[in-house]
Amino acid sequence: MDKQMNRRKFLSLSALAGAGALFAPQVALSSVRQPDEAITDESTPGIPTRILGKTGIEIPILSMGVMRADNPAVLRAAYRAGLTHFDTAHGYQKGKNEEMVGAFFKDKDRSTFTIATKVPANLQAENFEEEYEEKLNLSLRRLQMDYVDIFYTHAVENTGILNDPRLVKMLTKFKEEGKIKHIGFSTHANKPEQIDEAIAAGIYEVCLVSYNFKLDILPELDAAIQRGVDAGMGFVAMKTMVGGVEDADGAQKIDGAACLRWVWQNPNITTAIPGFTSFDLLDNCLEAAHSPALQEQDIRYLAQLKQNEMLYCQNCGACVRECRHHLAVIPAIMRAYMYNYGYKLPSMSKETLAGLSLTGKECDGCASCTVRCPSGFKVAEKIAAITPVLQVPDYFLA
């Protein structure tokens, strides 16, 4: 049976009989390794590894999205537990995230971990080249590193960016200078198109892509990922837990292990970068990594969850087309909503909104909203609920 067939079938209850019956012991896996212990094959039993495309980097299927973590003890626990790949970004926590990663890894053997960071490409800026390079240099200073292993152009949402000659030139220059080992991009929107553009551009080695069981465009996305893999690209999955909560109220925590096991069914995904912020969630992820086969209860759970509204915006773009004013910012506002109600991070929500140049009158004058979101979002209500966070002083926000 081919892979596409397997992936289409797995959420169907008829596929239950094919699921594996592996299980993991309920132990605190984050405490497996000792302080500052070097990572070796012997110390990391049980977490499978995969190769990240033509970069040749071999990493465990579980990595750490450091984005929301502000406690270095969680980072330490992840490293001790055998994770080797850590993902941050220039903008996370206004630079404090990179600083925390840098402080933790400064005395570690550089061969025991790989670091990815991201900088958005503001191609509208007249001084794009200067600004882009300055940001990379600042990231390297915060990280206290001479180079990052993967450098992503952050959140590429529109086509026509990845193949922009100015961006291609700068990324090539960074790589030639040794400041970055591998070139990548991250994307939430127009993903199949972005992947094809990256293949055509020829310089991209890694794609960080939002990837989870909720996506309506999975067949198209899986096909594009396959084309990327055939061209030598490696794929890293983010947004695997669709916002971290099970319902639209943000009340109930999601079973991250089931979400991760689903992601790993696709052998073209090298690793996933869930953003665990607590030891409990880390243990939940490690449990999955040590027992990665999709289980019967995972399939039942995800099949039921697929029907829920939840908080994850698929970035399908339907709202932009259907909105009377074609508000291009709606998906990003929905992401800000998820950061607040799902991640419980109002500061990150405000940061996301602040980057959108909102007027505060986005939905003014509409008697009734014309948007029919396939994820069931009442977008006008969510816009009204989240945009006031822009007025809240930073010192009140977590």
Window 318-347: contact mask with ligand SF4 (x via CB under 6 A): xx---xxx-x--xx--x-------------
- The reply on whether position 180 binds ligand SF4 by CB under 6 A is no
Helix axes 96-105, 128-143, angle to 10 degrees: 40
Tell me if residue 27 falls in helix, strand or coil: coil
CB of 221 to ligand SF4, least distance (A): 14
Find how far residue 46's CA is from the centre of its chain.
24
- The reply on whether position 379 binds ligand SF4 by CB under 6 A is yes
CB of 128 to ligand SF4, least distance (A): 27
- The reply on whether position 385 binds ligand SF4 by CB under 6 A is no
Q: Which is nearer to ligand SF4, 52 or 313 (CB)?
A: 313
Beta bridge partners of 234: 206
Residue with tokens 């002083």: 393
Q: Which is nearer to ligand SF4, 14 or 359 (CB)?
A: 359
- The reply on whether position 369 binds ligand SF4 by CB under 6 A is yes
Six-digit token pair at 108? 């570690």
Q: Which is nearer to ligand SF4, 336 or 380 (CB)?
A: 380
Distance between CA atoms of residues 198 and 69, nearest Å:
30
Six-digit token pair at 148? 């990052």
Q: What is the DSSP letter of 37?
A: P
Beta bridge partners of 49: 60
Distance between CA atoms of residues 233 and 198, nearest Å:
9
Contacting range for ligand SF4; rule: CB under 6 A; set: 29-37, 127-135, 276-284, 316-324? 316-324
Contact pick of 377, 386, 387, 389 for ligand SF4 (by CB under 6 A): 377
Window 264-303: contact mask with ligand SF4 (x via CB under 6 A): ----------------------------------------
Contact pick of 363, 386, 387, 389 for ligand SF4 (by CB under 6 A): 363
CB of 241 to ligand SF4, least distance (A): 16
Q: Is 211 exposed, middle or buried (0-12, 13-18, 19+ CB in 10 A)?
A: buried
How many binding residues for ligand SF4 (CB under 6 A)? Answer: 25
Q: Which is nearer to ligand SF4, 55 or 210 (CB)?
A: 210
Residue 197: phi and psi, rounded to 5, are: -65, -40
Beta bridge partners of 85: 114
Radius of gyration (Cα) for the chain, nearest Å? 20
Q: Which is nearer to ligand SF4, 180 or 373 (CB)?
A: 373
- 66 Cβ contact list (under 8 Å, min separation 6): 75, 86, 87, 88, 92, 97, 100, 101, 275
CB of 327 to ligand SF4, least distance (A): 5
Window 15-54: contact mask with ligand SF4 (x via CB under 6 A): ----------------------------------------
Contacting range for ligand SF4; rule: CB under 6 A; set: 8-16, 108-116, 277-285, 315-323? 315-323
Chain positions 69 to 88 lying near ligand SF4, rule: CB under 6 A, are none
- The reply on whether position 206 binds ligand SF4 by CB under 6 A is no
Contacting range for ligand SF4; rule: CB under 6 A; set: 113-121, 136-144, 224-232, 362-370? 362-370
Distance between CA atoms of residues 26 and 284, nearest Å:
9
CB of 186 to ligand SF4, least distance (A): 17
Please report the DSSP string for 70-134 in residue order.
--HHHHHHHHHTT--EEE--TTGGGGHHHHHHHHHHTTS-GGG-EEEEEE---TTSTTHHHHHHH
Residue 108: phi and psi, rounded to 5, are: -95, 150
Residue with tokens 């495309």: 53
Q: Which is nearer to ligand SF4, 3 or 325 (CB)?
A: 325
Q: Which is nearer to ligand SF4, 15 or 369 (CB)?
A: 369
Interface residue list for ligand SF4 (CB under 6 A): 313-319, 323-325, 327, 330-331, 334, 363, 366, 369-371, 373-375, 377, 379-380
